[in-house]
Structure 1
Amino acid sequence: MAASFAARAGTTSLPDEGALQSLAEKPQWAHLLHYRLHPLKGRYLSQNDSPEFFLAEHGKEDLTAELKADFIAFLQTNQADNESAQCQFPARYHWLKQQLPDVAFTDQRCPEFEEWRDELDAHALTLIFPASHINSPSSMYGHTLVRMDRADDSRSKLLAYSVNFAANADPTDNELVFSYKGLTGGYPGVVSVMPYYVKTNEYQHMEYRDVWEYRLNFTEAEVAQFVRHIWETKETYYDYFFFDENCSYRLLALLDASSERADLAEAFTYKAVPVDTIRALWQNDLVENTEYRPSAATAMEFKSTQVNEEVLVAAQALVDSDEDIESLIAGLNAQDQVRALELSHAYARYLAIKKKQANPVLRKRTLALLSARAKRPAEADFTDTPMPAIRDDQGHLTSRAGLWGGQVSASGETQAYSDLSWRIAYHDILDLPQGFVPGSQIQMGQWDLRVWEDEGVKLQRFKVVDVLSLSHQTYFQRPVAWAVTAGAERFLGAEAELHGYLKVAFGRAYQTALGRWYGLAETQMLADNQFDDGYQLSFGPRVGWLLQHEQVQAQLEANWQPLNVGDDTVRRSLRAEAGYALGQNLQLRIKAERQLFSAGAGTAGISEVSAGMQWYF
């Protein structure tokens, strides 16, 4: 082998087989090929699923074979412009040249790569985190991408290029199909490079999401290697998995391949929640500074808190009414006129984006509002939207374990139990609220094992998914509150049988000084042989009150299902629960619940009280 290397390179300073084997075992070579230990197969494989990503026949499974094949290819000379392996894999080539300074490699011409690299003009990297968007299955945990900043900070960052990893989804798939394929690896995930303003429009304006920016302290040499590596991956694909091999995980792997200091993806084998991947950057001392960019909706809502009712009414009428603009604001003083006009413009943009379609009437009205504003020299003097005191990545950790003790009472008898609870991800409305969207809940993969005093160990509940959005009404926004939860659980009592369930609810939520109030209309589908026809489909109201304070969290909720088919039993429940923060990742919980079952003329009731400690990790 070494003789053939020498013949190709024209030098005797070549590595032997042992040296090449040692190189193949270096972590950075594995990072460049995206090799990770497969959690199910128990062996190292490349996570890249494109045959074009490898030169060796078994390069996906064999690091050494791929290194030898790449080494031979990099020694080739007199290659056509842009056709050499050096042009196809510039990051691997650059790394190998650094590792083998005595080998006389001959650089081949790669004008296409060089033109692309010069157009990007990347000198620094910034990780971008558009915050969670609970109304979108693909974005409910948030999203990350990397912006490649130019050396001149005075140039608009919107014109810089960004690197994004996302599922290449079929646009005809509905959200249920998208969720299923995203969970099971049914889509190819692709690395794309696009102007940053394209993603900004999508996340900050189109989806009205706040954005956090994390400037990384990568050196210019590391940034250059990042650019080289993006070139060799952007035409390839990886199987996309919503929980683990997702956008945030893949960006960490791309950063790992670009810096000897980074081994970020190693910590994310089974799940990669975006806020956790940002924490990994902090833990590895790779963040230089942060910046907050509020969404247009956040800015609009904060401006609305700085004006009186008269200005709010005028601002809404300026958009919703076709009356003359000057007559609608004639009763306001000069500054309030300007404030009403600026608020109305923000409201018009919100409506245009919400409807996701061109509206010539609204567009004409918006231009008229801008014209009226331009004629007035007065300043609105709105205060800028403040940065949140707690960043999204500074909230509680996303896995949770709990230990509970309680008792159930029915017909004058009580029975004690202990619960062991584990949740994969990520937040419920009574968890510690700092860093999370108020009134939002996203839980996946929760297991509760109950140890009864006399009945042994039973699975009390398993939540596959539990999403609750209690977005409240504001003057300009009227979001629908909604909930979807599915899994298996038991009613209260040691004798209760496990049943499957799917619950869907829609309604409204309102924020007051005393907390958040909500009312939902809920449909429940329960399935098990304990029901008369093997199922029960019911409908009824679900109402409640929620308090999310930094130290204390509390909820009171009532549910009544009077309309049903498949089983005649009418079910009612009343639940009160509270949490007390003992630390950033430690919480005390107490809970009391009463369930009533009415069938025919009789009604039976059962009660439960419990207390527990919850640890977030």
Structure 2
Amino acid sequence: SCPRLAQWMADLDPAGITLVFPESYINNPASMFGHTLLRIEQHASRSALLAPSINFSAITEESPGLLYAVKGLFGGYSGKFSKGLYVDQVRSYGALENRDIYEYTLGLSDSETRFLLLHVFELKRAAFDYFFFDENCSYQLLSLIEAARPSLDLTDHIHVASIPVDTIRQVVSLPGMLRGVEYRPSLRSNLTRKTSHLSSLQLELVAELADKGRVGNDPRWLFADKTQQAGLLDAAIDLVLYNQSAATGKNDASDPLLLQLLQARSLLPAGTQSMNNNMPAVRPDQGHGTARFSFGPGVDHSDYFFDAGFRPVLHDLMDPGPGYVDGAEVEFFSPTLRFYPDKNQLVFQQLKLLDIVSLTPGDKLIKPISWLVYIGMDQRRYAEGGDRLTGRVKAGFGGTTQMSDGLEGYCLLTGQLFFNGHFQYGLNAAPGVVGGVRTTGHERWNSVLQGESGYSLLPDAAWSWSLKFMQSLHIIRNFSLRVYVAREREFASPSTEISFSLHWYF
């Protein structure tokens, strides 16, 4: 007998296990693929928010950044299990990081639930090497579920990466394992829902309420009924909380402006809200596979070729959108080989070490920054010497706007560095601008029309430009066709490339 263990189990009062998935958070390297944790359901009739949670995370006091990402990729941190209240996880992921949360109730028996928690008790003082790609939160939680039911054999097949959404797919696909799913929208999602039906004048009123806390004798307020006033205040309160988290990374409940709005809201009728009403039609576990293989023919400046590419993770803007964060692209370590049959030549065409794009549209209330980062190498055409494999680093920031229903426009200022022995100093720099339009919200197809211009500074100053059109058609969930047409000029005369490719997700 162990008094500490007995007290620990008594405090947990376990009645079941829920696997929780906060979706990806692109501004944190450790959370770009999402996160997983466990919520302990209890026999006593209590709010799910007050239930205990089991989390596995890296132990670090560093802020997210380049060093943080590098150390996380190569096991520079230790990871530990921790127990806390689920409400703290919801506050962190849903309110501060604005990540939608999906809760998957698992079909573990009482004895399996107890054994899982006994195993957590054994491990709570242990430290493990933490790797963002494989030995991460998802891998460790799979190990816990596997310990509770050894016949599942969940971890042996993981060889390259343990992606949280793949963990969810793997677990819920097991017969009898999924009992139910609930959706907990983020603060941003709630704000979008509360303001989607408002007119431009009402949105301006919400912004004014969130800025000043009152609107005086504004006719837009005076002529609104009590229910409408309550809705406007609800939206303003969420906007204040969103602005707080965006500015400081935390919420301040003692903020006089917030208290003023809450006091005004308390004088109006209570609203009603169902947590499941706004669950997206396609959950993250129902989206396309995170790994991708592509193959297809094309022509480049009258030379025919065949491309073959592999992407271990995760999603780009031309992939099927359902189940993924709209406007977010995250790809790592993605190589492409190109074969020219007429020349009998195999070329290493491209290697994306890191490719991240965030295109989140703004509105009258929220104006997020759109940004991109690219690190890799690809073939570039030069006036002398033909194509050369060239290292490239690119970054940019700007904005995205909703032009109409299903159509977004974006524009970003960019800067690029090119690395190749062809240049006088081994490198070249090019500030520039990129902009385009993209379709959104279509389940079966995506389109992007994009133009880009830059000015090479070294050694010979010159303008470069490109115009690209991309179209994808999603046949079924894990297969899509893609067309790529580009006309561009960089370090040589203008050239045209056209390609067709089949993409298989798994």
The aligned residue for residue 467 of structure 2 is 574
State the percentage of identical aligned residues.
Answer: 30
The aligned residue for residue 487 of structure 2 is 594
Structure 1 residues 124 and 402, CA gap change in structure 2 (3 angstroms):
same
Which of structures 1 and 2 has the larger relative contact order (alpha carbons within 8 angstroms, sep 6+)? 2
Structure 1 residues 173 and 440, CA gap change in structure 2 (3 angstroms):
closer
Counterparts of 1:345-360 in structure 2 under 5 Å?
345-356=237-248
Structure 1 residues 158 and 568, CA gap change in structure 2 (3 angstroms):
same
Whether 2:389 is the aligned partner of 1:498: answer: yes
Counterpart of 2:457, as a letter, is N
Whether 2:204 is the aligned partner of 1:204: answer: no
CA contact 2:481–2:501 (8 Å) conserved in 1 = yes
Q: Distance in 1 between matches of 2:430 and 2:48?
A: 53
Counterparts of 1:210-289 in structure 2 under 5 Å?
210-285=100-175, 286-289=177-180
Q: Distance in 2 between matches of 1:233 and 1:566?
A: 58
Q: How many residues align?
A: 498
Counterpart of 2:146, as a letter, is D
The aligned residue for residue 477 of structure 1 is 366
Counterpart of 1:440, as a letter, is A
CA contact 1:147–1:160 (8 Å) conserved in 2 = yes
Counterpart of 1:470, as a letter, is L
Counterparts of 1:377-416 in structure 2 under 5 Å?
377=269, 386-409=278-301, 414-416=302-304
**CA apart distance, 1:362:** 8.0
CA contact 1:348–1:362 (8 Å) conserved in 2 = no
CA contact 1:165–1:189 (8 Å) conserved in 2 = yes
Map Cα deviations across residues 158-205 of structure 1 (whole Å, 9 max, x no partner).
Answer: 221111111112x23551111001100010111111111111111111
Query: The residue matched to 2:312 in structure 1 has which SS?
Result: strand
Q: Distance in 2 between matches of 1:362 and 1:162?
A: 27
1:560 to 428, 436, 453: 453
Q: Distance in 2 between matches of 1:278 and 1:439?
A: 22
Counterpart of 2:48, as a letter, is K
CA contact 1:336–1:380 (8 Å) conserved in 2 = no
Structure 1 residues 361 and 259, CA gap change in structure 2 (3 angstroms):
closer
Which is greater in Rg?
1
The aligned residue for residue 427 of structure 1 is 315
Map Cα deviations across residues 140-162 of structure 1 (whole Å, 9 max, x no partner).
Answer: 1100001111023x311122111
Whether 2:182 is the aligned partner of 1:291: answer: yes
1:155 to 21, 24, 46: 46
Map Cα deviations across residues 29-88 of structure 1 (whole Å, 9 max, x no partner).
Answer: xxxxxxxxxxxxxxxxxxxxxxxxxxxxxxxxxxxxxxxxxxxxxxxxxxxxxxxxxxxx
CA contact 1:423–1:446 (8 Å) conserved in 2 = yes
Query: The residue matched to 2:114 in structure 1 has which SS?
Result: helix
CA contact 2:456–2:462 (8 Å) conserved in 1 = no
Structure 1 residues 566 and 252, CA gap change in structure 2 (3 angstroms):
farther
Q: Distance in 2 between matches of 1:219 and 1:360?
A: 41
Whether 2:400 is the aligned partner of 1:509: answer: yes
**CA apart distance, 1:333:** 3.5
**CA apart distance, 1:380:** 5.4
Structure 1 residues 597 and 219, CA gap change in structure 2 (3 angstroms):
closer
Whether 2:31 is the aligned partner of 1:139: answer: yes
**CA apart distance, 1:445:** 1.4
Map Cα deviations across residues 313-371 of structure 1 (whole Å, 9 max, x no partner).
Answer: 21110121365556572343433222222211111111222222789898112222222
**CA apart distance, 1:479:** 0.6
CA contact 1:306–1:382 (8 Å) conserved in 2 = no
Map Cα deviations across residues 359-396 of structure 1 (whole Å, 9 max, x no partner).
Answer: 9898112222222222234x657787511000011110
The aligned residue for residue 192 of structure 2 is 301
Runs of 4+ aligned residues of structure 1 deviating over 6 Å after TM superposition are 357-362, 381-384
Unmatched runs of 5 consecutive residues or more in structure 1? 1-108
The aligned residue for residue 343 of structure 1 is 235
2:325 to 418, 434, 437: 437
The TM-score, its normalising length taken from structure 2, stands at: 0.94
The TM-score, its normalising length taken from structure 1, stands at: 0.77
Query: The residue matched to 2:203 in structure 1 has which SS?
Result: helix
**CA apart distance, 1:482:** 0.3
Query: The residue matched to 1:432 in structure 2 has which SS?
Result: coil
**CA apart distance, 1:122:** 1.3
Q: Distance in 1 between matches of 2:229 and 2:111?
A: 53
CA contact 1:311–1:336 (8 Å) conserved in 2 = no
Counterpart of 2:187, as a letter, is A
**CA apart distance, 1:125:** 0.4
Q: Distance in 2 between matches of 1:323 and 1:288?
A: 46
The aligned residue for residue 338 of structure 2 is 450
CA contact 1:522–1:542 (8 Å) conserved in 2 = yes
1:605 to 490, 494, 500: 494
Map Cα deviations across residues 476-503 of structure 1 (whole Å, 9 max, x no partner).
Answer: 2111000001111012599300011110
Query: The residue matched to 1:496 in structure 2 has which SS?
Result: strand
CA contact 2:20–2:38 (8 Å) conserved in 1 = yes
Structure 1 residues 308 and 570, CA gap change in structure 2 (3 angstroms):
closer
Aligned-residue Cα RMSD (Å) equals 2.1
Map Cα deviations across residues 500-547 of structure 1 (whole Å, 9 max, x no partner).
Answer: 111001000112225111000010011011223211111011011111
2:14 to 115, 119, 122: 122
Q: Say which structure is richer in strand.
A: 2
Unmatched runs of 5 consecutive residues or more in structure 2? none
CA contact 1:582–1:588 (8 Å) conserved in 2 = yes
Map Cα deviations across residues 61-119 of structure 1 (whole Å, 9 max, x no partner).
Answer: xxxxxxxxxxxxxxxxxxxxxxxxxxxxxxxxxxxxxxxxxxxxxxxx31111111111
CA contact 1:318–1:325 (8 Å) conserved in 2 = no
Counterpart of 1:596, as a letter, is R
Structure 1 residues 357 and 518, CA gap change in structure 2 (3 angstroms):
closer
The aligned residue for residue 320 of structure 1 is 211
